[in-house]
Amino acid sequence: MSNLQRSEDLRALVPRLQAMSVVATLIFVALLGRLCQLQILEGEHYTRRAERNFIDEVVVEAPRGRIFSSGGDLLATNRPAYTLYVTPRPRVQIESEDPNKPPVGARVPLEDGQIDELAGLIDFVDEADHDAFVDKIRERRGDEKNGIYALAVRSNLSWQEYARIETRREALGEWVEIRESARRFYPRSELVAFLTGYVGEITPDGLAQAAGAYRPGDRVGKTGIERQWENYLRGRLGRRSRVVDVHGRAVADPPADALAALPLEESPIPGQDIHLTIDLELQQVAANAFEGKPAGAVVALEPQTGRILAMVSVPAIDPNRWQQPIPQEAYREWAESPFKPFIDRTVQEHFFPGSTYKVVSSLAALDDPTFDPEREIVCDGYVKYGGRKFKCTHKHGPVNLHQAIVQSCNVYFYTLAMEDVLSLERQEIFARRTGLGERTGLGINSETKGRIPTEAFEAREGTYQRGVQLNSAIGQGNVTATVLQIAVLYAAIANGGQVMTPFLVDRIETHDRKLVFASTPQVRRDLEAIVNADRQRIHQALIGVVNDPLGTAYSERLPNITVAGKTGTAQVGAAERRQAGIVRPEWDTTKDHAWFAAYAPAERPRIAVAAFVEHGGVGADAAAPIAMKVIEHYLSRTDDPSAAPIRPAGEPPPLPGQRLDAGAGPRGPRLGQLGGKSP
């Protein structure tokens, strides 16, 4: 063992020690430089990234705008509810001590077991409902991009579900959250089902089209006003943010800097309230009038303005049903029902107008200078044309135009068609002038146009025969119209010849009652081409239909009110007749569709009504009583203002709520023009 002695060559070590000092210093300077780069030069960038880590933005739902009737009754409102949110983001694995577990930083997706555990706490209506729920979460659990947002997986939890989930909260983990929200409630259930429509979860297609305006799980208007005015009803989402830790949990006492970094809270702006023109009482009367009649529709409107007073389609589904998951069984039942409860019969379905179309035929005939309305044609109960027999209801004997309308004689119109007074072309011109064959412009529930045959159309279809011209003249053949179109047509005759654009929305107000929009009556098509004398002639004939003892609706006349109207019986196609037969006592598909279109009081019309009963039989028996009840109720109401006189053609229509004789006032914003101005 050597002794520790002062070595001779220690001095030789000094250069190496100096070199080491230099190297060490240089390396520390390099570390300090790197720190300077990260902390001072790029510090801002990393601060932003740190914020992205801990800031969690929570969307605050805006209460949806409500829908009111004209009398201020609630038709659609919100009720407090609980919505189940799931954030299926893969979790970051932190501090994994167990090597069998995923490494630190690994994203661990939700396990099937976790999803099943949550699903076990929810009452599903059927197997499909359960599967849809589980699939929805599974689809999103691996989605890095969207998985970070809370997804509304179940709206309108029941109290039992709420309690069950809350008690299992800790065990379920932080990915499950229940938030207070609102559920849509329709206090009048079926009564205004097709008008308000309903809200439901946005579809993937809708989501794609919305381009970020909606998030998955959002509820949007699906039909009716809810859909048409979605952008007004929806309001604007608010934003709240919070500090979360790496597990996504909100932190109770976060560092002050973190709180300061949170973006400002944005309060939600409630949706705007929509006031409809609907007279709820009248709507109820109209709906009640359908008792015992499984399917049909009635539309009542103000002839001078086009304001819709009542609009009923039966049967209808309670829109509240859509706020809960619907068992497939129930859905199938609706889909297979012969009464088609999904269809809004006022605008979505078109039917032969039958004899109600004769006012169009008459207008067309009167346009022909060679036509003499006083000339009598003898009705033998049928007419032969092209080897076919065209039947009338019975032998009417000699009838002129007035009597042909009053007694609804088909032969009279067949003859005019045979003589080419009622050519298809002329019929088409007048049908279009009176608003048939095109949408009325109401804008809800995907309105259909109906059909007005032209020679070109018939030729294309290969169905053109001269016989078509005959059938068209009495509203059969290929002529179809919606109930709303017929109501608008009769309103036009009532108001002096103006086809109005019907409207349902009276005004829109913000939640603090500032006027956003007010409807003004819109003339869509002016019947000025019609000589007032012609209109008067038809008007007189329509009065005769109800008030002449020979009139087809004489039996239905009202004691105090002079009603002008026209019955219609639309023949059901032979094929349809054969197909079904009697399903239920009140539903005989061999029976014709019944129509009655009218306005009253005849002197100064205040209401125009079109009633339609599917397979109701003869118009006078089935449809007329419904229309009469509506008219009687509306006109008998003491609080109603005085009747409006018939307005001469060409004069501008009055403002909403303003009667014609009140004089012209300032014009409000027109349809489609929107501003925050309040009058």
Binding site for other proteins (CB under 8 A): 1-2, 4-7, 9-10, 12-14, 16-17, 20-21, 24-25, 27-28, 30-32, 34-36, 38-40, 42-47, 49-51, 53-54, 90, 92, 94-95, 97, 99, 103-107, 144, 243-247, 251, 254-258
Q: What are the beta bridge partners of residue 378?
A: 398
Cβ-based nearer residue to other proteins, 107 or 391: 107
Give the three-class secondary structure for 59. Answer: strand
Strand pairing partners for 301? 308, 608
Task: List Cα–Cα distances, 281 to 77, 284, 469, 606, in angstroms.
Answer: 19, 5, 42, 16
Q: How far is the CB of 168 from other proteins (least distance, A)?
A: 25
CB atoms within 10 A of CB 329: 10
Choice between 144 and 512, CB closer to other proteins: 144
Residue 160 phi, psi (nearest 5):
-65, -45
CA distance 634 to 598: 13
| SS3 of residue 229 by DSSP | coil
Whose Cβ is closer to other proteins: residue 26's or residue 132's? 26
State the minimum distance, in angstroms, from the CB of residue 143 to other proteins.
Answer: 13
Nearer to other proteins among residue 103 and residue 292 (C-beta): 103
Q: Shortest approach of other proteins to residue 108 CB, angstroms?
A: 11
Q: Residue 34: CA atoms inside 13 Å, Cβ hemisphere, count?
A: 5
- Min dist CB 171 to other proteins, Å, is 21
* Min dist. Cβ of residue 512 to other proteins (A): 39
Helix pair angle (483-494, 532-547), 10° resolution: 110
Alpha-carbon gap, residue 553 to 543, rounded angstroms:
10
CB of 18 to other proteins, least distance (A): 8
- Do residues 538 and 363 lie in contact, with contact meaning Cβ atoms separated by under 8 Å? yes
Closer CB to other proteins, 31 or 459, in the complex: 31
Shortest separation between residue 115's beta carbon and other proteins, angstroms: 21
| Least CB distance to other proteins at residue 275 (A) | 49
3-state secondary structure of 175: coil
Handedness of CA 479, 483, 484, 487 (dihedral sign): positive
> How far apart are CB 241 and other proteins at their closest, in Å?
14
- Quote the distance between the C-alpha of residue 143 and its chain's center: 33
Task: Provide the total of helices (H) and of strands (E) in the chain, helices listed first.
Answer: 24, 26
Beta strands in 412-531 (DSSP E): 498-501, 505-509, 515-518, 522-526
Give the nearest distance from C-beta 29 to other proteins in angstroms. Answer: 9
* Helix 424-433 × helix 466-473 angle, to 10°: 40
Residue among 42 and 425 whose Cβ is closer to other proteins: 42
**CA proximity to 206, closest of 194, 193, 219, 197:** 219
Q: What is the rounded CA–CA span in Å between residue 344 and residue 323?
A: 19
Complex with other proteins: residue 17 or 574, whichever CB lies closer: 17
Specify the residue, 32 or 330, whose C-beta has the smaller distance to other proteins: 32
Return the number of the residue (107 or 236) whose C-beta is nearest other proteins: 107
Considering the complex, state which of residue 31 and residue 664 has its C-beta at the smaller distance from other proteins: 31
